[in-house]
Structure 1
């Protein structure tokens, strides 16, 4: 591995968050290759990898360059497009091509032995399961609100009835959902025991004790550097109407800092976007950690600092 090798950025063409970091890397004269495997492989790009007695070798060819993938110093897995297959194909042929591209390019680009990943896509996937997040958070020292994940309606109703401060429902995954043909977001919302129907039996649901919070906090972790932002919003779920929320930097308490470090180590993550609910008494409750969460919406100074931290990780490569 050479220290002057390129940084490979896996993301879609509309990812403006990636643009912020790419401009920093350009200013530092760090070579960058931007590649969207979900679409580029169907529009002229190619990827070749060979294994055997001669060792490993491979080449990524995009519209602008050819890259020896053995020289890639860092891989930033940002927001690549989903693999959907070539548009000129249909039905099972398109699905077949899409899955072959996913498992083929995903396997090649996830197996660069000398590259530094932010984050490794397989670690991202493991860290996206909310039950695993809650279990790991608890073992790492975070306070976690009482939570039940169940497809048993009576269990859900009994849990909800026991929580004097109320209960919220959260989806376990942000599955695309449409109402009357239009995209629809399923936000975190408060739920009462009498609202829980037998429809819960269709799939597991997550019910969590409502935290009597004074405000929310987003802690963005990049390696050992933490960037805390206090979020004040009129909504239970501040993502619902972000134009109504206000943000300001906030100090991260030492116990939370230690728990974040332990959590990142457990999931083998370099980056993580942690969400907390903070009570009037100053108690921080862990809600979730998005291993690939957005960060460019934060105050300008915080966004700039996070961008520099990400750029530092990508520029230094392995061993950071």
Structure 2
């Protein structure tokens, strides 16, 4: 099959403007693209079939406008698809059952397309999302990591906080949807003090970290071996809290940090990663986290455009692995 006729499959929700930036680049290159939100589209007229026979694997994705041979998919970009929730006309146990079958069935098919290049593979994304695994891997790969404690023990939390003369911050180990009085709320990174560490800590694991005396933050967006650094100056401990008050500008990534990024991506088998660092007055880059599927279109247009083209290159097939 002529590789130019093979399609890029983009798995994301209909409101994903970050994906739109890359799709515009692919459209300009005349690369065939099929966009699918499996969590919703498979209940709205789309269908997915896979067959496993002695002569090999076959499959078909049908949407309202396309019929895609799954063996003709050159790459899959796993962006931000909606969760599998089951058909809206079902409820209770029936809907939960259908959602689970869709997750393991449709999700399994889309994660096992023969010959397709994944950015990133969904199973690698999931493995790389665990904060404890991130911290352990970051240390192994040569990053500087602030002293960190993950615990559900009140005494351990208090002792850890007491030992950090520069302060202690709390951050969730996972961004679980949270509501207050029926309104969605985000749990931001915030500083905590000893009296706040009560027996409520025992309810679940909490992540505490020594506060970094930072001069500024950085975001490094990695697409394969191409790194895009952005310096972030913000009045807030967590720059995401009020992005309208932050300033963002390009910054070079130090060679030791770039080398550690390469080792980290290899350890988790990632093509893409959004790395966050706190940089001290002395110029030390302290690793905070890596989101294997992080947002990047909020950065200045010149950085965003270069990232979009780098991802398009990977999806089109301009990569070594």
Does residue 1:170 correspond to 2:171, yes or no? yes
Find the aligned partners of 1:181 and 1:257 in 2 and give their Cα distance: 43
Distance 1:194 1:157 in 2: 8
Query: What secondary structure does 2:22 align onto?
Result: helix
Show the counterpart of 1:240.
241
> What is the TM-score of this pair, normalised by structure 2?
0.98
Q: How does 1:1-320 map onto structure 2 within 5 Å?
A: 2-4=2-4, 5-316=6-317, 319-320=320-321
Question: Kindly tell me: are residues 230 and 300 of structure 1, through their superposed partners in 2, closer, same or farther at Cα, counting changes over 3 Å?
Answer: same
- The answer on whether the counterparts of 1:74 and 1:318 sit within 8 Å (CA) in structure 2 is no
Residue aligned with 1:97, SS:
helix
- Cα RMSD between the aligned structures? 0.9
SS in structure 2 opposite 1:216? strand
Q: CA deviation at 1:52?
A: 2.0
User: How far 1:7 sits from its partner (Å)?
Assistant: 0.1
For 2:92 and 2:240, how far apart are their aligned partners in 1? Answer: 36
Q: Give the superposition deviation at 1:2.
A: 4.8
1-structure distance, mates of 2:290, 2:227? 13
Report if aligned partners of 2:248, 2:300 keep a CA contact under 8 Å in 1.
yes
Stretches (4+) displaced over 2 A? 317-320
Residues 183 and 85 from structure 1, CA distance in 2 versus in 1: closer, same or farther, beyond 3 angstroms?
same
Q: What is the alpha-carbon distance in structure 2 between the residues aligned to residue 118 and residue 97 of structure 1?
A: 27
Provide the C-alpha distance between the structure 2 equivalents of 1:293 and 1:15, rounded to a whole number of angstroms: 12
Asked whether the equivalents of residues 73 and 318 of structure 1 are also in contact (C-alpha less than 8 Å), the reply is no
Cα distance in 2 for residues equivalent to 1:162 and 1:25: 52
Classify the secondary structure of the residue corresponding to 1:272.
strand
Structure 1, unmatched stretches of 5+, are none
Shift in Å, 1:113: 2.6
Aligned-pair distance for 1:119? Answer: 0.3
TM-superposed deviation, 1:193: 1.4
Deviation of 1:3 after TM superposition, in Å, equals 1.5
Partner Cα separation in structure 2 for residue 162 and residue 250 of structure 1: 33
Residues in 2 aligned to 1:188 and 1:318: alpha-carbon distance in whole angstroms: 36
- State the distance in 1 between where 2:71 and 2:318 align: 13
Q: Is the 8 A contact 2:313 2:319 kept in 1?
A: no
Residue 155 of structure 1 and its aligned partner are, at CA, apart by: 0.3
Offset at residue 277 of structure 1 (A): 0.1
TM superposition score normalised by structure 1: 0.99
Q: Is the 8 A contact 2:157 2:197 kept in 1?
A: yes
SS at match of 1:136: helix
Is the CA contact 1:2–1:73 (under 8 Å) kept in the aligned structure 2?
A: no
Number of residues of Structure 1 aligned to a counterpart in Structure 2: 320
Aligned with 1:75: secondary structure? strand
